[in-house]
Every structure is written in C-alpha cells, then in structure tokens.
C-alpha cells in the first residue's frame, strides 16, 4: 500500500505529464541535457522560444504601444558593482536558510515550513493556516530563534535524512558574482561584477537618460524585458523557480504622495491584463505582503493557482523614492525631476525625487501559467461507437507558436504546389507550418498537441473550386472556405 509520502496527487501527476509534454514537443528541455542537465536551468526549444516571444510581444505592446507615457529600454546585464550596493542587494538580498546537519541539505526557511503546511492542510486546514500566519509574523520580525523553534516544535524533518537535526538560521545572499576583465586584481573585490538579480536597476540608473532624451513628463514609465539571475537554494517546480530566468518589469515614476493611487491602478490593470491573456479571473488572486522588501512601502503578489498550489506570478511594489535616492547618494549625481506642471496647478515649482510603482512579472512563470491552463486530454465517442482521444494545447490563438498548419491531403496530383502557394502568401504575416507526411488525422493530432489553432487541408476539390477545409483546434469543427480567404480568416482570429 502506498504511504502518505509516496501518494501522487492528481495535480502532481498532471504537472509531471505537462513537463513531459513540454519536452516531447520541443517547448522546454533541461539545460545541457547530454551532460545530465544543470539544476534549475532550462532551454526553450523551437516551439517554446516562439511562444515565449509571443508572450513578450504582447506584454511589450500592452506596456509601450498602448501607453503613450511608457517607453521601453534594454539595459546590459552587467552593471557597475556599486549599483548593487546602492540598491541594497549586497546587504539585503538574502533569504533565511537552515541546514540539516545530517544530510547537509540547505533549505529556505519559508519553503521548508510551507512544504510542511501543505501536508498539514490535508488533515487540518485551520492549523496549517495558523502555522503560516505565525511564520509570516516571525519572518517579518526576523525572529530566527523563534522560527527555528517553530520548525523543531512541529518536528519538520529533512526530506533526505528524515531527521530534525537543524543548524541555526542564517542569511544567504542570492546574487551570482563573476570576475570582470582579463587581469586579476590584487584586491579581488575590484573585479567582482554581479549577474543582475532583477532588471529594475537598469531602469533606475537610466532614469535621467530616458527622462531627458525622451522629454518624459511625470507620471511616466520605463519598461524592460530581460534575464535575471538568482542563486536559488531551493530550485524546484520546473520553470517556476530557476537560477536564470526572464523578467518583464515596468517602473512607473510618479509624484511623491500619489503612490497609493498608482499602486491601486497598476494592481487592477495588471490583473486585467492577465485575464486578457486567457487566464480566468478565479485562477488569480492578490496576496498582500506582510514582510516588505527593504525598498517598499506597500507590496502584493498577483498569485495564480499553479498545479502545485497558489503561488506568485507577478509582484506589484510601491518602491517609494528608495532606489533613485540611493543611486543619487552613491553616484553623487543629482537624480531629480523638475515638475513644471506644479506651477500650472498653482503649487510652487519643485524639484523632487520621483516615487516609483513597479510591476514585475516572471516571463517563465507566465509561460508555465499559460501552458498549465492550455493542456487538456480529451476523450469522446465517435459516431460508430468507438473511442477517440487527443491531447490539445488550448493556447490563445494570438500567442500560439504556430498559427496555421497547411496540409496537402496527398503528396501528389499538384496538391503540394497549391499548398506551397498558400504558404508563400501567409508566412510573411504569421507563423505557418507545412506538412505532407502521414494520414491527415495524425497530422491534426500533432497540431492539437502543439496548440496550432487552425489547420487547412488542400484536396482534389481545391483544384476544382479553389476551396479548402479549415479545421478549428478548439471544437474540431471543419468548414469549407475559398482558399483566397484563408489568410484574412486567420488574421481576424489572431488579432
């Protein structure tokens, strides 16, 4: 009989299946797989890279093209090391960790307790909630002895050694560092540069450049998409928590005192945007932070119900004037904004350090969100009573990696030539896929499994009346339409 620990829940097995599907169809591969992979690092395959790009494009468009007062930049990953002293990351970007003395395995304290609370929830939901509330309170107060006692009192054990033989809790910095330049310096720290743990600092240090060259008036935003790196100790759950990942961040610069107004604005706006990406409202919720980061006066997560529970998808942070003030202090440059409009409003002219509201979503987490909602296994009875089935990815058409599959029924009789003409007509406007091998049913199934929303079949009738069969992924309905209308039809559906 399976014991509690080895029981695999439906959600877990769904997640394992999803990971397998991602690999089988070229969405995501373990990094350097031929060398057995690298922990918590993944490569996006041919379909994954395209899907990821489509998600990025949607975000970029929604931020920059649809907001006249938001512009985008692309700052370097390497930054002057003082950036990270100014931002507080050298001193504060750490998590409380605890080591098991027997297995030597290191855990993030909150993850260890949360893992135990998840198990407890099956038996006693109220006790699990109380435990998490107490943990939040102790983390907020940095009360490490009490947190250790909490772990010991609940007999929370190491998953490897199964013992409760714990070290004291200590802070562990999550930034990766590397050496810059070819010549080793006598003083080693002279050469140290960090791989950025967030993209936001690239925006802050460019605040004046963008504001002045773009003649931006407050309120305005700077958006950026790029890689970030964190030496996560507990790196698990596939692409949910990685050591190299991508963020889509936007810093919105505002007048001091207006931060709660904009915080609420972006909180609503970002949740609505996720809904516009096909995420049902009931699968999203807000979680207010009880322990605020060193730079924030208010913060919340937009959480999604992942296959392994409710977890952070995006962070909304009111970062005050912390970052700009710190960079002004450390660089000894004046980083302020001269607000002309204050005069027009009858208030005195003023230079001030803008406040900032940040929106920060993990691209990989959004990718996982979209795929976990899209994946479905379907079974039905055919007219002759036999069973049929398929795996389908119901990725919203506007972000699906391939939009249209063009499938000549046979490899002969002039059908491939007609299909190629259609391919040439459409491929400049959206991603198309051409395939002439295998039975048509098999080809449809393959397109369902990678989320292609439309398939077009060219058959002998096409030669007679210039019509084709278009098949819709979601309801598998088929209709006959003129070949000349295919491109227009697909463009309508994906826009």
* Spatial distance between the Cα atoms of 425 and 409, rounded to a whole number of angstroms: 19
Query: Which residue among 230, 267, 270, 471 contacts ligand GAP (CB under 6 A)?
Result: 230
CB of 67 to ligand GAP, least distance (A): 19
- Under the criterion CB under 6 A, does residue 232 sit at the interface with ligand GAP? yes
Which residues are CB-contacts of 66 (< 8 A; sequence separation ≥ 6)? none
* Calpha distance 77→228 (Å, rounded): 8
By CB under 6 A, tell whether 247 contacts ligand GAP: yes
Size of the site for ligand GAP (CB under 6 A): 19
Helix or strand run (H / E) with residue 148: helix 144-153
Q: Which residue is nearest to ligand GAP (CB)?
A: 362
Interface segment toward ligand GAP; rule CB under 6 A; list 338-346, 355-363, 375-383, 408-416: 355-363
Closer to ligand GAP at the Cβ: 296 or 400?
Answer: 296
292 C-beta neighbours (distance < 10 Å), count: 14
CA separation for the pair 492, 397 (Å, rounded): 10
The yes or no reply on residue 270 touching ligand GAP (CB under 6 A) is no
User: E strands along 90-139, which residues?
Assistant: 94-99, 106-108
Q: Smallest gap, in angstroms, from Cβ of residue 242 to ligand GAP?
A: 4
Peptide bond into 429 cis (omega under 30): no
What is the rounded CA–CA span in Å between residue 300 and residue 282?
17
Q: Is 245 a binder of ligand GAP (CB under 6 A)?
A: yes
| C-beta of 54 vs 237, nearer to ligand GAP | 237
CA distance 152 to 95: 19
Which secondary structure element, helix H or strand E, spans residue 405, and what is its range? strand 404-408
HEC secondary structure over 76-95: CCECCHHHHHHCCHHHHCEE
Stretch that binds ligand GAP, among 45-53, 357-365, 382-390, 417-425 (CB under 6 A): 357-365
Shortest CB 364 distance to ligand GAP, Å: 5
Q: Least CB distance from residue 474 to ligand GAP, whole Å? A: 28
Cβ at position 248, least distance to ligand GAP in Å: 9
H, E, C per residue of 163-200? CCCECCCEEEECCEEEECCCCCCCCHHHHEEEECCCCH
Distance in angstroms (rounded) separating the CA atoms of residues 448 and 152: 50
Q: For residue 127, which phi and psi values (nearest 5 degrees)?
A: -65, -40
Using the minimum distance from each CB to ligand GAP, give the nearer residue, 50 or 247. 247
Sole binder of ligand GAP in the list 97, 132, 203, 361 (CB under 6 A): 361
**Binding status of residue 226 toward ligand GAP by CB under 6 A:** no
Is 318 near ligand GAP (CB under 6 A)? Answer: no
- Using the minimum distance from each CB to ligand GAP, give the nearer residue, 108 or 473: 108
Compute the least distance from the CB of residue 80 to ligand GAP, in Å.
Answer: 18
Radius of gyration in angstroms for the set of CA atoms belonging to the chain, rounded to a whole number: 26
- Per CB under 6 A, residues contacting ligand GAP are 198, 200, 230, 232, 241-242, 245, 247, 249, 312-315, 358, 360-362, 364-365
């Amino acid at each position: 009989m399976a014991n509690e620990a080895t029981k695999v829940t439906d959600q877990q097995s769904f997640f394992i299946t999803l990971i397998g599907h991602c690999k089988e169809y070229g969405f995501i591969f373990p990094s350097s797989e031929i060398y057995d992979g690298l922990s918590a690092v993944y490569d996006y395959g041919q379909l994954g890279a395209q899907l990821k790009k489509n998600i990025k494009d949607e975000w970029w468009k929604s931020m920059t093209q649809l907001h006249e007062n938001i512009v985008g930049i692309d700052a370097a990953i390497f930054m002057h090391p003082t950036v990270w002293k100014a931002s507080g990351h050298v001193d504060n970007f750490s998590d409380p960790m605890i080591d098991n003395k027997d297995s030597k395995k290191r855990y993030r304290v909150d993850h260890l307790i949360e893992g135990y609370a998840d198990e407890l929830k099956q038996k006693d939901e109220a006790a699990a909630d109380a435990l998490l509330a107490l943990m939040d309170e102790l983390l907020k107060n940095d009360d490490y002895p009490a947190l250790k006692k909490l772990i010991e009192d609940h007999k929370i054990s190491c998953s490897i050694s199964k013992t409760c033989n714990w070290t004291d809790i200590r802070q562990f910095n999550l930034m990766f560092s590397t050496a810059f330049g070819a010549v080793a310096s006598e003083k080693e720290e002279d050469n140290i540069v960090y791989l950025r743990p967030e993209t936001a600092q690239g925006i802050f240090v460019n605040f004046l450049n963008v504001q002045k060259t773009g003649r931006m008036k407050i309120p305005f935003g700077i958006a950026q998409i790029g890689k970030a790196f964190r030496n996560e100790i507990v790196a698990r759950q596939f692409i949910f928590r990685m050591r190299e990942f991508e963020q889509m961040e936007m810093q919105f610069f505002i007048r001091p005192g207006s931060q709660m107004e904009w915080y609420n604005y972006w909180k609503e706006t970002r949740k609505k945007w996720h809904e516009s990406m096909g995420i049902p409202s009931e699968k999203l919720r807000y979680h207010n932070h009880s322990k605020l980061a060193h730079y924030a006066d208010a913060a919340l997560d937009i959480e999604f119900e992942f296959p392994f529970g409710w977890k952070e998808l995006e962070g909304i942070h009111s970062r005050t004037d912390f970052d700009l003030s710190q960079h002004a202090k450390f660089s000894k440059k004046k980083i302020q904004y001269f607000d002309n409009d204050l005069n027009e409003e009858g208030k005195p002219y003023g230079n001030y350090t803008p406040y900032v509201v940040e929106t920060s979503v993990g691209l990989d987490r959004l990718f996982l969100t979209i795929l976990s909602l899209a994946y479905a296994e379907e079974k039905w009875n055919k007219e002759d009573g036999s069973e049929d089935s398929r795996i389908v990815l119901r990725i919203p058409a506007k972000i699906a990696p391939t939009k249209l599959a063009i499938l000549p029924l046979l490899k002969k009789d002039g059908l491939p030539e007609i299909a190629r003409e259609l391919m040439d007509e459409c491929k400049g406007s959206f991603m198309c896929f051409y395939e002439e091998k295998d039975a048509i049913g098999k080809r449809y199934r393959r397109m369902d499994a990678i989320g292609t929303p439309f398939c077009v079949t060219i058959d002998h009738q096409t030669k007679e009346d210039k019509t084709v069969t278009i098949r819709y992924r979601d309801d598998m309905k088929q209709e006959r339409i003129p070949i000349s209308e295919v491109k227009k039809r697909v463009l309508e559906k994906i826009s």
